[in-house]
């Protein structure tokens, strides 16, 4: 009977250890999610600020923004308004449509400036 008690006690200790590890993982996931939300807000603020400053009509800002978006896309992140800032698993039709639209935009602006 003591053998059974010993095994039960060992299992209880292991379960408590496992529960502590799961709690630690939950805390890390919460921290990462909070950081992700904060970084998305910062990125949106920077983008908004850049748009406000870029309203002066410079195509340089638009090209720089497009290069930044392309860089984000190349690093595996969504740039579309649906999943912006999330990790991509493959190509995204929304991102591709956005890039196609953005590539056409500077050409239109250049012809209207002439």
Domain count, the chain: 2
61 and 9 co-located in one domain: no
pTM of the model: 0.43
Q: Which domain covers residue 66, as residue numbers?
A: 57-114
68 and 113 co-located in one domain: yes
pLDDT averages per 10-residue partition of the chain, 114 residues: 91 97 97 91 76 55 74 85 86 83 54 38
pLDDT of residue 111: 39
pLDDT of residue 75: 85
Q: What is the 3-state secondary structure (H, E, C) of the chain?
A: CHHHHHHHHHHHHHHHHHHHHHHHHHHHHHHHHHHHHHHHHHHHHHHHHHHHHHCCCCHHHHHHHHHHHHHHHHCCECCCCCCCCCECCCCCHHHHHHHHHHHHHHHHHHHHHC
33 and 84 co-located in one domain: no
């Amino acid at each position: 009977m003591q053998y059974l008690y010993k095994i039960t006690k060992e299992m209880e200790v292991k379960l408590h250890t496992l529960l502590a590890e799961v709690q630690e993982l939950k805390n890390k996931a919460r921290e990462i999610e909070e950081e992700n939300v904060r970084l998305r807000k910062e990125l949106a603020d920077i983008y908004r600020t850049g748009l406000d400053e870029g309203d002066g009509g410079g195509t340089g800002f638009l090209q720089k923004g497009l290069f930044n978006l392309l860089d984000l896309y190349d690093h595996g992140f969504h740039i579309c308004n649906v999943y912006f800032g999330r990790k991509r698993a493959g190509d995204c039709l929304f991102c591709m449509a956005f890039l196609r639209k953005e590539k056409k935009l500077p050409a239109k602006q250049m012809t209207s400036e002439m």
